[in-house]
Structure formats: C-alpha cells, structure tokens
C-alpha cells in the first residue's frame, strides 16, 4: 500500500468508520447487551476459575469438589442475562422506576419460554442446562422482547395525568399491564400454540454461528475489535456482537464432547483470548513489541516503555502498551497491530481445522494466564507449545521492521528535544 493510499485509508477509518461504530454501540438496544456482559463479568470469571481449578483436580482427585460454586453462579448465566437486559435497557432509557420489575419479568419470561413441566405435586421440571451458557441466545432474545414491550408501555404514560387516580394506583397499573401482556403472550406462544422457542431460535441463529466458524468470519471477529482498539475504542464495545457468538459456540463444543463427539466451533472466547495464541500479550499480539523495546530499543522512550509494560504484557494486559507507546492513532505501529491479528487468527484457524491442535471444549475465560500455560490448559494439548513458539517467531518478524522504524523516530524526537532545535 502506497503512502497516499495508506493516508486515505487512515482518514476514512478515523473520520468515518470509528464515529459510525461509536454511534452504533451507543444505541441503547445494543448498549444494553454490552452492559449486561460487562456487569456479569464477575459471574463469568467465577465459573472460569472453577474450570481452571478442575484442571488441577483432574490430576489430584483428593481436592474438594467446587462445582456447586460454578453451578449456582456461572450455571445461572442465561437467567441473569434475561434479567439484566431489560434492567439495563430501562436504565439507559431513563425508566429507572421500572428497572427491577422489568428485569424480574425478563427472568420469569425466560423460565416460561423453556416450557417447564409442573406435575400434580407442583414439582417443576425444567432443563437446567439452559440456565447456563447453552441458553444465552434464548435469554438475549427474551430479554430484548421484554424490554421492548415494557419500555413502549411505560413511555406512553397510560393512566397518568389523571386527578381521579392516585399516583400509587397509576404505578401499579403501569406495571401490572406490561407484566400481564408479556406473560400472557409467552403462555399463548408456548402453552397454547406449542411453539418451541429454543428450537426456533437455534434454527434462526445457526447460520450466524456457521459464518463465525468460517475462515473469513473468524478473522473478522478478531480483526474488527483490534482495529477499533487501535482507534481508541475499547474492544469491549464489540462484545455485544462477539460475546453471544462465542458463548453459543463454546456451549455447542461442550455439548458435543459430553455427547461423545468432537468440538467443532473454533470461534470461541477460549480460542481467541484464554489460549492467548492470537492475543499474545493482549489484542494485537503486543508481547513481542514489548520484548523488542526492552531488549533492543535504542531510544529512551522505547527502553522505558518496554520495561514498564513487560510484566503486564506477560499476563496479556496491554492497555499500557496500546496507550503508552502508543499504538492508538500511531500509523507505524497500527499496521503490525492489525497484521498480527490477521496472521495469528489465520494460523490458529487452519491448525485447529486440520486437527493439529485441539479445539477448546471447556469454558475458561481467565484471559490473564500467561502463554503457553494457558494454551496447554485450554486446548488440553501439549502441541500448543509448538504453535506458541511458531506464532512468537511470526509475530516477531512482523513487528521487527515497524519497531525499528518507530524506535528511529523516537530517537530523532529525543535528539530534537535535547538540542532544542
């Protein structure tokens, strides 16, 4: 790419793409999903820690069984999502009086959609697996539908502005009506018409999951948040798009392995982040850049930043690198930042597709475990060490010329500052 074309591309990214993406993720109907996953991160990490603990327990059976901790935290992930989406949407829409009730009805509607069977002794039989990551898509759709109905009822202010009806009665009516409509709609759909929402949504969303597991789809899931990050937009913003896909895919892998089959979905958070093969040092594979700066940097800035960022980078925390070197809006370092994401994702995709490395089949989302330990843990495959070494070399080769160029620029700048010319 010529310098002129590169400048045109950068201008388009900064002036058109980044603002458009910022506006998109700020839309309340999208933002409420991103906020949901952010707020539920402690629950997700709790389950991930137990999965991590169970790796050691598989070698030391005498260790206590902590699965109940996972089952009653992470195991309720979808139920929590069904609550949090209406809660967050009503908060973003400034309907704060209705947030809690909206969330509670989201959870109730989710349970209704799972079509539980209640026997003559009033014992409820429900598929517990859908309370966990398996039911993520269903929970998201139910949560959004509940949010739409609740918000649209509330915003029309029915029964308000009446001198004859006390305020507390108005509040009751404005909550009873949408609750009744939501649950009645769910009952007619499930109990009367016999619609299997879980099956319908699985059919609708299966093409999305399929696209994510193609080569192009997988690379885009990695590249788009990397580009956004290099423009100063947190990769969490893209989570509203990627997280549901990742959760659905890892749930499919877990179910397939439990049924005696093989994990087939590569596009998972585990393959992307936890294994740390394509996020070595963090998004954009910045660990090698930090090592270069610490060991090979000639400018004071690069040496200092390399030493400061080394420990965080080993644990895949690269905010100091992205904002400190910086990579954000830095044309020299943005290019290898993107290239490593494309090349790393490509290598991992084909390596897993060809069976040269196991596809993850356990949900472990602790992204701060250093590679190659995390790589072995998540793939349960010692060959991960080989691919970690290969990718480390590849990333080094990609970053090296750009690092040299930027180090040279830093030296020039430091010389100007010292001489005052």
- What DSSP string describes 22-73? HHHHHSHHHHHHHHHHHHTHHHHHHHHHHHHHHHHHTT-TTS---HHHHHTT
- Which SS3 state, helix, strand or coil, does residue 77 take? helix
pLDDT score recorded for residue 161? 57
Extract the residue ranges of the chain whose pLDDT is less than 50.
none
Q: What is the pTM of this model?
A: 0.66
pLDDT score recorded for residue 280? 92
pLDDT score recorded for residue 312? 84
Helix axis angle for 239-258 and 136-155, nearest 10°, is 140
Residue 359 is given by DSSP the state P
Per the CB < 8 A criterion, the answer to whether 342 and 219 are in contact is: yes
Residues in the chain: 421
| Chain centroid to CA 268 | 9
Nearest Cα to Cα of residue 111 among 174, 197, 235? 197
pLDDT score recorded for residue 405? 86
H/E element holding 229?
A: helix 215-230
Tokens representing residue 123 in the block = 């014992």
Q: Can you tell me the distance from the alpha carbon of 218 to that of 246, in angstroms, rounded to the nearest whole number?
A: 11
Helix axis angle for 77-92 and 41-57, nearest 10°, is 160
Nearest Cα to Cα of residue 130 among 103, 146, 112? 112
Measured at the CA of 221, the angle between CA 16 and CA 32, to 5 degrees, comes to 75
H/E element holding 124?
A: strand 124-125
Report the b/e string of 374-413 with b at 16+ CB within 10 A: bbbbbbebeebeebbeebbebbbebbeebbeebbeebbee
Per-chain mean pLDDT for the chain: 81
Longest dimension (CA), the chain: 89
Per the CB < 8 A criterion, the answer to whether 146 and 86 are in contact is: yes
Residue 235 is given by DSSP the state G
Q: Can you tell me the distance from the alpha carbon of 267 to that of 215, in angstroms, rounded to the nearest whole number?
A: 10
> What are residue 118's DSSP bridge partners?
124
CA distances (Å), origin 294, targets 277, 287, 419: 21, 11, 25
| Chain centroid to CA 233 | 15
Tokens representing residue 319 in the block = 């905010």
Q: Can you tell me the distance from the alpha carbon of 192 to that of 11, in angstroms, rounded to the nearest whole number?
A: 56
């Amino acid at each position: 790419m010529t310098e002129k074309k590169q400048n045109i591309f950068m201008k388009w990214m900064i002036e058109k793409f980044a603002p458009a993406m910022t506006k998109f993720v700020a839309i309340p109907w999208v933002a409420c999903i991103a906020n949901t996953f952010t707020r539920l991160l402690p629950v997700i990490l709790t389950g991930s820690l137990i999965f991590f603990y169970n790796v050691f327990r598989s070698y030391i059976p005498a260790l206590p069984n902590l699965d109940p901790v996972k089952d009653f935290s992470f195991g309720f992930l979808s139920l929590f999502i069904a609550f949090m989406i209406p809660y967050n949407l009503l908060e973003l829409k400034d309907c704060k009086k209705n947030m809690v009730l909206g969330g509670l009805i989201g959870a109730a509607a989710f349970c209704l959609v799972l079509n539980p069977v209640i026997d003559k002794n009033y014992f409820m039989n429900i598929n517990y697996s859908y309370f966990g990551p398996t039911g993520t898509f269903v929970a998201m759709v139910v949560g959004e539908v509940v949010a739409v109905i609740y918000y649209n009822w509330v915003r029309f202010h029915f029964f308000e502005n009446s001198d004859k009806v006390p305020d507390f009665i108005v509040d009751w009516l404005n909550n009873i009506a949408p609750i009744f409509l939501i649950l009645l709609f769910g009952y007619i759909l499930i109990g009367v018409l016999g619609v299997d929402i879980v099956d319908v949504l699985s059919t609708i969303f299966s093409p999305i999951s399929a696209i994510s597991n193609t080569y192009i789809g997988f690379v885009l899931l990695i590249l788009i948040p990397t580009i956004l990050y290099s423009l100063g937009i947190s990769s969490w913003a893209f989570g509203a798009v990627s997280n549901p896909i990742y959760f659905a895919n890892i749930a499919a892998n877990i179910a397939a392995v439990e049924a005696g089959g093989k994990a087939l979905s590569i596009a998972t958070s585990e393959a992307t982040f936890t294994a740390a093969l394509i996020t070595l040092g963090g998004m954009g594979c910045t660990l090698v850049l930090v090592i270069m700066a610490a060991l090979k940097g000639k400018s004071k800035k690069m040496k200092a930043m390399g030493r400061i960022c080394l420990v965080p980078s080993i644990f895949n925390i690269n905010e100091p690198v992205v904002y400190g070197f910086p990579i954000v809006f830095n044309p020299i370092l943005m290019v290898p930042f993107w290239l490593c994401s494309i090349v790393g994702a490509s290598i991992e995709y084909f390596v897993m597709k060809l069976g040269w490395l196991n596809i993850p089949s356990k949900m472990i989302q602790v992204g701060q475990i250093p590679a190659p330990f995390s790589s072995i843990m998540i793939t349960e495959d010692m060959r991960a060490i080989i691919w970690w070494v290969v990718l480390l070399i590849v990333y080094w080769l990609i970053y090296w010329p750009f690092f040299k160029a930027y180090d040279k620029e830093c030296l020039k700048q430091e010389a100007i500052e010292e001489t005052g010319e």
